[in-house]
Amino acid sequence: MPKVKAGKININYEKQGKGEPLLLIMGFGAPGAAWIPWLPFLSAKYECIYFDNRGTGHSDKPDMHYTVPDMAEDASGLLRALGIPKAKVFGVSMGGMIAQELTLTHPEQVEKVVLGCTTPGGPNAAMASMDVLQTLIEGSKLMGTDPEKAYDKIMPILTPPGFAEAHPEFKAMMLAMRNMIPPTPPETADRAMAGIVGFNAYDRLPQIKCPVLIVHGDSDILVPTANAKIIKSRIPHADVFMIPGAGHLMEVLDPVGVTGRIVEWLSA
């Protein structure tokens, strides 16, 4: 992946496809390569720009807490470094928080935004149980040293009940991807979680004026489904796409249908 100076840090990024620019922002503890399963669908219509958030992949890993505003500045700086004045944006999970912050602080850079399986943060948000959050952190820290054990730990909180057992090929695909990318350092989990806990866009969300699509699985236990309704209540003009039976990895039950619906909305 190429590397550019984006604000204060060096960010690794990649491009795939042709068309209007679509900035893809990944979630907690995952590098930009986690977008690869989406790319056959998204890059057919857009020039997809995906990148390693700070602390992941080949991007810089500063020794500090990774706040969502800082990561939004990384994304903004990447667009400027690439000479892209305005882009459509799609963020998932923590990446959806970064996308909210980017849209709020740099509205001139965001044409449309898709908020996938995410939360507005703060005391008004719906939180996962402490057991679920602890499992996510433990699994993320294990990913660099024992990816198979990490997978078995976190998949039950990312997918609907029975999915992992019914689809062993998904585990094989995930492990193969992990072997192709640099492991995320264990300390990144703590640094990024501190940023998630400190994030709160609830009061500011009505400031978002660009078109918004909220996408959420109706069986998500990591970022509870109620967050989609909360975000909608703060951005009344937003469209909502609820995916029946889907967990936090909202696309895995129907990748063609889910991505097709998102591309249709982005292209409208």
pLDDT, averaged in runs of 10, over the chain (268 residues): 89 97 95 93 97 96 95 97 98 98 98 98 96 92 86 92 87 78 86 94 98 97 98 98 96 94 97
Q: Is the pTM of this model over 0.85?
A: yes
The answer as to whether 217 is a domain residue is yes
Instruction: Identify whether 156 is part of a domain.
Output: no
What's the burial of 134, exposed, middle or buried (CB within 10 Å: 0-12/13-18/19+)?
exposed
> 């984006």: which residue's tokens?
6
pLDDT at 248: 97
CATH number at residue 214: 3.40.50.1820
- pLDDT given for residue 69 in this prediction: 97
Tokens 């997809």 appear where?
Answer: 48
Residue 80 lies in a domain: yes
How many domains does the chain contain in total? 1
Residue 228 in domain? yes
Can you give the residue range of the structural domain that contains 77? 3-128+195-267
Q: Is residue 158 part of a domain?
A: no
- Residue 171 forms part of a structural domain: no
pLDDT of residue 81: 96
- Distance, CA of 179 to CA of 186 (rounded, Å): 17
Residue at 154 is within a domain: no
| pLDDT value of position 1 | 62
Domain membership of residue 66 (yes or no) is: yes
What is the arrangement of strands in the sheet containing 87-92, beginning at the earlier edge strand? 3-6, 9-16, 46-51, 20-25, 87-92, 110-116, 212-217, 239-243
How many CA atoms lie within 13 Å of 248's alpha carbon, on the beta-carbon side?
A: 23
Q: What angle do CA 144, 22, 219 make, to 5 degrees?
A: 60
